[in-house]
Copies of this chain bind each other. A is one copy, B any other.
Amino acid sequence: MTITPPALSVFETLESEVRSYCRGWPAVFDRAQGARLTDEDGHSYLDFFAGAGSLNYGHNNPVLKRALIDYIERDGITHGLDMATTAKRAFLETFQNVVLRPRDLPYKVMFPGPTGTNAVESALKLARKVKGRESVVSFTNAFHGMSLGSLAVTGNAFKRAGAGIPLVHGTPMPFDNYFDGQVPDFLWFERLLEDQGSGLNHPAAVIVETVQGEGGINVARAEWLRALQDLCHRQDMLLIVDDIQMGCGRTGGFFSFEEAGITPDIVTLSKSISGYGLPMSLCLFKPELDVWEPGEHNGTFRGNNPAFVTAAAALDAYWSDGQMEKQTLARGEQVEQTMLAICGEHETARFRGRGLVWGLEFEDPARASAVCARAFQLGLLLETSGPQSEVVKLLPPLTITPEELDEGLRTLARAVRETA
């Protein structure tokens, strides 16, 4: 397949220089279905990117699409702030019945605004209010969002510098395996907490991703997460799991922390929660933490009701039984086989992952970008992650068929070979 780079005129002349994805993927996309996008010239692309994790059920999933169109057709409430609506009630009941009760999770549900960073900002506010302390610990290579509160607990130096003010009130600690097993887990963190002379401002909370997506597909072990929860309990800190990218089934279970058997104090969800790529996010927390005053945090689009409709439909369709989790783990094994093969062939590559999130790291960071560029030419959408963009990140829709997955993996293997 050859692709003629389109004239991106209005994007180049009118849109800000801040745009980024359109630079790596010089096509004008027009339609999408399931795991495939089509550009305006009719070229088709297999999607191993899934809206950065926002399209776990594929593009324009027919089940959700039906529910969405029906809702719009019947003039359901579109914009509802935090008014009670029938769509919101349906979502809340479904979320309770399908997600919370079966997992014995006692969470209260907050709609903090429809983006991930809204959810993180609300989680940090709540933790600080409950504990009466300012400091929050995050981890090396964490990504939590671009508004100032979230950015202060994000690792990336380039994004942090964009703040234009010194980002404070956050302190980084080493993520799992940051020293390749050389150093006992939490040695540094725990010493600082116990030593009254350490200079660490005692944190209100710890915020963590179970798998760091933007940070390079760094997978925390279950025992590390359990030890972190223990440390939080012993040291009177709240544990916040940011499950924005890894929740909604990406790693297998609905929440990525289920496998570790932990119960975070606060959980943030966004990206695939609406299931259809519509903006929506949630902040969940233990009931005893629900010390909010009415309206103490708010946001104009926190009641994006069409998203509640697709969200409820997605939960009903995919999470009423254990089928989705089983399928994701099976697809993950399919990926792992290819990864083993690629790394067998290419000594400078390493891989890691869980469920349907995988990373292929190259010693030479430029190689990862080259692989993604070649994959695009071959009709496969792949992006890089990691502090030096040294990791090729695989994030296909969970609903991808084994055949599509195989096709994409073969394209990936070819792109790796052809960039050697």
Contact = CB atoms under 8 A, between A and B. Distances in A.
A202 interface: yes
8 contacts: A14-B92, A15-B82, A21-B82, A28-B89, A113-B146, A115-B115, A118-B147, A197-B216
A164 interface: yes
A125 B168 contact: no
A18 B148 contact: no
A297 B22 contact: no
Contacts of A292: 16-18
B60 A198 contact: no
Interface in A60-87: 60, 65, 68-69, 72-86
B164 A166 contact: no
A337 interface: no
A204 to B, nearest CB: 8
B124 A164 contact: yes
Nearest to A54: B79
B79 A277 contact: yes
A30 interface: yes
Given A14-B109, A54-B300, A182-B187, 14 more contacts: A6-B84, A15-B82, A18-B290, A18-B298, A21-B82, A21-B83, A31-B76, A32-B78, A55-B79, A59-B79, A147-B149, A162-B293, A271-B300, A278-B306
A16 B130 CA distance: 14
Contacts of A369: none
Interface string A116-138: 11100100110111000011001
Contact of A149 (B21, B135, B142, B148): B148
A276 B76 CA distance: 12
A141 B195 contact: yes
Interface in A186-217: 187-188, 191-192, 195-202, 204, 215-216
Interface string A88-123: 110011011000000000001111011111100100
Contacts of A25: 83
A74 B31 contact: yes
Contacts of A128: 163-165
Contact of A77 (B37, B82, B297): B37
A229 interface: no
A274 B96 CA distance: 31
A201 B300 contact: no
A18 to B, nearest CB: 4
A148 B151 CA distance: 10
A33 interface: yes
Nearest to A214: B197
Contact of A140 (B29, B69, B198, B201): B198
Contacts of A11: 84, 88-89, 92
Nearest to A83: B21
Contacts of A304: 278-279
A252 interface: no
Nearest to A383: B81
A326 interface: no
A92 B18 contact: no
A79 B92 contact: no
Of A29, A197, A215, A301, most buried by chain B (CB within 10 Å of CB) is: A197
Residue from A116, A124, A279 whose CB has the most chain B CB atoms within 10 Å: A279
A72 B65 contact: yes
